[in-house]
Amino acid sequence: MNFLSLQLAISSLKRNKVRTFLTVLGVVIGITAVIVMMSVGQGLKLMISQQLESFGTNLIQTETRVPTKANQPAESAQAQAMGVAVTTMKNSDIEAVRRIPNIKDAFGGQMTQLQVTYQDKTRNSLAFGVSEGYLNVDSDKVEFGRFIAPEEQKGADQVVVLGPDLAKFLFDGQDPLEKKIKIKNLSFRVIGVLAKRGSASFINMDDRVVIPLKTIQDRIMGLDYVNYITASAIDNTKSDATAEDIRILLRQRHRITDISKDDFQVTTMAEAMSSINTILGAITLLLIAIAGISLVVGGVGVSNIMYVSIKERTYEIGLRKALGATAKYILWQFLWEAVVITVFGGIIGVVLGVIFSVLASLGASLAGYDWPLAISGVAIITSFGLSVLVGLVFGVYPARHAARLSPVDALRYE
């Protein structure tokens, strides 16, 4: 009987092609949105995770932060931090961190935006002022030429290493080594070009200029402090203990007795990954919830169309009941209509969801982001299962309504 009900349901849907198409479209949009949102969220998570891992899993990052006052509200602390520079982390702190037993090496840095000029070409690029030890900690490689020498660091020499995109823009295929470029009306000699690295945290790492830390401090920015210190641990299993050693050391050097007044923040790579995963997980759930609204709207459309169909076929229902059709038979006939619509819409939605996810990944790649394609079987099965569930949930009540119609009342309807 159920098979015959399925045949009748398909026949009914074929007779009303436009109505069926519009109903299926609502389900298709919902399923497509769910898959694309899950793919985008997972892809973003993988991209950021890969970028963090590319820096090294043994890194410990120390950054300046504005200390809060006792009993200060969060809003007030945030307002206080805006536009405030913490100047307490000095170059001597870098050397002190480097002497911690489990530290392989460490470097300090300043970061700013600078205008870089060569002949008639000018570009605003990110400038990194880094101290000695940079290549021992960071994953950067020099493609050709060389990196900044220790004596150039100490002498605040006007030398630079360029990212490959910046070198290509300025020199257009010419050999940039030993050429002179202008930064803030100062002449700098190009000594090397970095290997291609791609984007990290939505920053194009190939469009930057690397300068000796003392040079950017003394000759460009006119300051004597650093924004961050990045260290690498010898034994990664002791990273948490080493991070605590850095906190104790800096509190002693900065004369901090109350840990709530810390003017720095120390983070291990594991802690950074955990925080990012928590944030991205919440973003992904929000995106899925928003996409799920589309699916619910599609389900409401299924329910409305079924009610319209039942109204139009009330006489037909009464006639079948008068000829012996049971309530169960009528219920399955209309329930099959809802299930067929949502299953069909689910299949199309899954196909379109995969296609749009691939296009989103390709678009991000063309924009310069290493965005991995992340379409899991779980996402496909879950979204398809949701489409079937929508058909059952939003179809069962109208189907029961049709099954409970009195044959006499139904026959009198028209």
DSSP string, 372-388: -----HHHHHHHHHHHH
CA torsion angle 393 397 400 405 (round to 10): -160
Q: How much is the average pLDDT of 236-249?
A: 93
**pLDDT computed for residue 84 by the predictor:** 66
Residues 227-241 have a mean pLDDT of 92
Question: Residue range 215-225: average pLDDT?
Answer: 93
* Burial readout 92-124 (b: 16 or more C-beta within 10 A, e: otherwise): ebbebbbebebbebbbbbbeeebebebeeeeee
Nearest CA to 5 out of 270, 346, 340 is that of 340
DSSP single-letter state for residue 231? E
- pLDDT value for 102: 94
The pLDDT of residue 81 is 44
Mean pLDDT across 176-195: 94
pLDDT higher for 100 or 80? 100
| 403 three-state secondary structure | helix
Query: pLDDT over 90 for what percent of the chain?
Result: 38
pLDDT tens track for 119-146: 999 999 999 999 999 999 988 899 999 9
CA 51/CA 48 separation, integer angstroms: 5
Q: Lowest-confidence range among 49-53, 113-117, 148-152, 344-348?
A: 49-53
The answer to whether the beta carbons of residues 56 and 135 sit under 8 Å apart is: no
* Half-sphere exposure (Cβ direction) of 356: Cα atoms closer than 13 Å: 18
3-state SS assignment for residue 192: strand
Distance CA 221, CA 384 (A): 57
Q: Closest by alpha carbon to 15, among 303, 299, 312?
A: 312
Taking residues 325-333, what's their average pLDDT?
Answer: 71
Q: Which two tokens stand for residue 313?
A: 């076929």
For residue 205, the model assigns a pLDDT of 85
Instruction: Quick: pLDDT tens for 160-181.
Output: 999 999 999 999 889 999 999 9
∠196-201-204 over CA atoms, to 5°?
35
Q: What is the mean pLDDT of residues 146-157?
A: 94
Q: Which two tokens stand for residue 259?
A: 């840990």
pTM greater than the 0.75 cutoff:
no
pLDDT (0 to 100) of residue 183: 94
Contact 386, 31 (CB under 8 A): yes
Q: How confident is the model at residue 100 (pLDDT cuts 50, 70, 90)?
A: very high
Count, in order, helices (H) and strands (E) of the chain.
14, 12
| C-alpha 237 chain-centroid distance | 28
The whole-chain average pLDDT of the chain stands at: 82
Query: Average pLDDT of 16-44?
Result: 80
Residue 2 has pLDDT above 60, yes or no: no
pLDDT band (50, 70, 90) for residue 1: very low
Q: In the structure encoding, which two tokens stand for residue 279, read together?
A: 């944030």
